[in-house]
Structure 1
């Protein structure tokens, strides 16, 4: 699974993904959209590429970046399942706590 937390943990990377959800962009278009240097944007793009959340292709001398929706969907499903399991465990613990009546001692 891609490290979604690493990929989404930075506001610039989230901004890049937000731009790419509207369509493919060149590296030049992405650089123009942010108030940081081209090398800094490239570093963010490399992280997104490493996690396979975006892909890179060439059109002549231009690099074109696009979202990989399948990878995002898989990551979303895995995170959703993980959070669901955490919540299920918490609900079971709460149910056991309530059934034992331990909270009555705290109320008295």
Structure 2
């Protein structure tokens, strides 16, 4: 499973993803949209590639980047399931806490 938190944990990577949701972009187009160096952008692209959030292809001498929608959809569903489990655990804890409080009130 891709580490979505790693991929989305940086504002530059989020901006790159926002660019790519508009359509495929060359590395040059991505670099020109930022005020940081090409090697710094390449580092962010590599993290997104490692997590398989984006794909890379060659078009002549240009590297073209695109969103990997299947992986994003999978990661989205995994994250929803994780959040649902967290909330379920919290609701069970709250229910137990409330029920114990009611028992104490009845005993008083």
Q: Is TM > 0.5 for Structure 1 vs Structure 2?
A: yes
Report the more deviating stretch, 65-74 or 95-104: 95-104
**RMSD of aligned alpha carbons:** 1.4
User: TM-score w.r.t. structure 1 length?
Assistant: 0.93
1:40 matched residue in structure 2: 40
1:5 matched residue in structure 2: 5
1:15 matched residue in structure 2: 15
Summarize the Cα distance change of 1:30–1:103 in structure 2 as closer, same or farther, 3 Å threshold: farther
Residues 1-108 of structure 1: pairs in structure 2 closer than 5 A: 1-101=1-101
How big is each residue's C-alpha offset from its partner over 1:32-63, in whole Å with a ceiling of 9 and x where there is no partner? 00000000000000000000000000110000
Stretches of 4+ aligned residues off by more than 4 angstroms: 102-105
How big is each residue's C-alpha offset from its partner over 1:68-105, in whole Å with a ceiling of 9 and x where there is no partner? 01100100100110010000010011011111116977
Return the alpha-carbon distance in structure 1 between the equivalents of residues 20 and 4 of structure 2.
16
Return the alpha-carbon distance in structure 1 between the equivalents of residues 102 and 15 of structure 2.
48
Structure 1: gaps of 5 or more residues: none
* Aligned length in residues: 105
Structure 2: gaps of 5 or more residues: none
Return the alpha-carbon distance in structure 2 between the equivalents of residues 29 and 4 of structure 1.
24
